[in-house]
Each structure stands twice: as C-alpha cells, then as structure tokens.
C-alpha cells in the first residue's frame, strides 16, 4: 500500500475509546489480517498558505476540497524517500495522488529551487503550487498507525491512529515525533477505507458498540487548536 501512487475510495472515520477498540479488533479477527506494513510511525508536513486557506476551506465542508502534504512512514533524512501527496475529496469520494522523492528534492520542488518530475502527478503538483502561490510547510503532524486489510477483499482497509500530535516548530520529517496531543488520552481514530459499502459484520459491530461516524480531520483539529491558543494569547495581552 505504501508503494501505491493513486487512490479512489470512500473513507469513513470513527473516534472510539479503548474498550470499543478491543470489541472492533475481536470482530475483525475472522475477516482481516495485518497488512504488509502493519505498524507505522507516520510523519506529515501539511502545506498551506500563511492565512491557512486550504484548511479553512476544508473545515467549511464544501463539495470539493483538497490538501497537500509530505509524508514519511518513519524518520526520514534528507536523502530518504518521502511521498508528496495531493488529496482531494469530491462528493464524499477521496482521490489521492502522490509521488515519491528524496526529502531534499521534495522540499526543493516545493520552494521552486527544482522543477517537479516530468509526469502527470508532477504536473498536478506543480499546478497546485502555482495556483496557491504561497504554500509552505505549516504544521508537522504525526501518529502511530496500525493497519489491516480484508482477507477476501484486500481493498477493504482498516487503520487505527493513536498518539496524534502536532507542532509548528522543526518542520522536517527528520525529527522525533513530539508535539501537542490532539485526542484525549485513551481515544483512538479508526478509518475505514472502502471502494463501496461496509461489510455487514463491520456495520453490526459499529451499531452494537455505538460507534458513530465523524468528520474528524487531524489537520483541522490542529488548526483549530492553533487558532484557540492564538486567541487566548491575544486576550491575555489585551
């Protein structure tokens, strides 16, 4: 899955506590197995304009929205491969296109010191950077992820994200995962990634455990926390 460069699917998100997590894992046992990369320490650099145009637009829940980020699945040095990802959502369908580059080259492409690779995805990234003009790394966001795939339907994937945290300092993937937590202690974010509908057994366990779909966005939660802290600071010195 890490080597896949294009995606088109539905993604459903659910927040749950540890008791609910264990119930879901038990229900999954006959139907799912850990995927090829069962555990990852994911690091992201989210790009945005100085006034956070992309995430503000995303939080308005429009019919179409997009995000641009750089991702690694562990600590990444300058020459380590990373993924530059353009993630779009249109009428609930998620489209993700990405390209793999050494981190040093990816950062050079983003700030205009090097051209993007001569490919369809490279051209899309170049267009996006030119369209928004002032995109730059805005937030570092990391989390621990456990991933599973269906035994019969390998396109059905379930991921569990914990220790989700963000920061606005040390905006590089070659760093430790430290920052401000987004979720309360003991809470986990589950994502279901499907081409069509949910399997019946998963729908049953969600209903039994009273686990409800949410529109939670990791970068959105980080942005809202940033704005809240900024507001508190302004009030303190008013």
Spell out the residues 6+ positions from residue 114 whose beta carbon is closer than 8 angstroms to its own: 105, 108
Identify which of 20, 7, 35 has the alpha carbon closest to the alpha carbon of residue 147.
Answer: 35
Distance separating alpha carbons of residues 103 and 3, to the nearest angstrom: 16
Residue 238 has pLDDT above 80, yes or no: no
Average pLDDT of every residue of the chain: 92
* pLDDT one-digit tens code per residue, 196-221: 889 999 999 999 999 999 999 999 99
Q: Are 166 and 140 in contact (CB under 8 A)?
A: yes
Query: What percentage of the chain exceeds 70 in pLDDT?
Result: 95
Query: Which residues are paired to 12 by β-bridges?
Result: 192
Chain Cα centroid distance, residue 225: 17
Domain ranges of the chain: 6-236
pLDDT band at 37 (very low <50, low <70, confident <90, very high): confident
Predicted local confidence at residue 2, as pLDDT: 59
Closest C-alpha to 102, from 122, 89, 83, 85: 83
Task: Please write the tens of the pLDDT for every residue from 45-56.
Answer: 999 999 999 999
Please tell me the number of Cα atoms within 13 Å of 83 on its side-chain side: 19
Query: What's this model's pTM, rounded to 2 decimal places?
Result: 0.90
What percent of the chain is modeled with pLDDT above 90?
76
What is the CATH code of the structural domain delimited by 6-236? 3.20.100.30
Torsion of CA 95, 77, 162, 8, to 10 degrees: 10
pLDDT in tens, 86-131: 999 888 789 889 999 999 999 999 999 999 999 999 999 999 999 9
């Amino acid at each position: 899955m890490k080597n896949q460069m294009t995606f088109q699917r539905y993604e459903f998100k659910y927040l749950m506590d540890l008791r609910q997590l264990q119930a879901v894992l038990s229900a999954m046992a006959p139907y799912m197995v850990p995927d090829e990369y069962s555990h990852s320490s994911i690091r992201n650099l989210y790009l945005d304009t100085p006034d956070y145009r992309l995430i503000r637009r995303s939080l308005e829940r429009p019919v179409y929205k997009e995000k641009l980020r750089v991702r690694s699945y562990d600590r990444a040095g300058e020459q380590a491969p990373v993924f530059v990802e353009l993630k779009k959502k249109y009428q609930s369908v998620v489209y993700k296109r990405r390209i793999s580059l050494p981190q040093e080259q990816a950062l050079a492409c983003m700030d205009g010191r090097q051209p993007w690779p001569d490919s369809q995805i490279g051209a899309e990234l170049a267009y996006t950077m030119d369209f928004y003009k002032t995109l730059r790394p805005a937030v570092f966001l990391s989390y621990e992820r456990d991933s599973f795939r269906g035994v019969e339907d390998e396109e059905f994937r379930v991921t569990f994200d914990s220790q989700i945290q963000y920061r606005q300092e040390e905006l590089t993937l070659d760093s430790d995962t430290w920052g401000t937590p987004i979720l309360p202690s003991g809470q986990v974010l589950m994502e279901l990634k499907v081409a069509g509908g949910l399997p019946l057994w998963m729908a049953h366990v969600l209903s039994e455990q009273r686990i409800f779909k949410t529109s939670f966005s990791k970068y959105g939660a980080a942005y809202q926390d940033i704005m809240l802290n900024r507001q508190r600071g302004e009030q303190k010195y008013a």
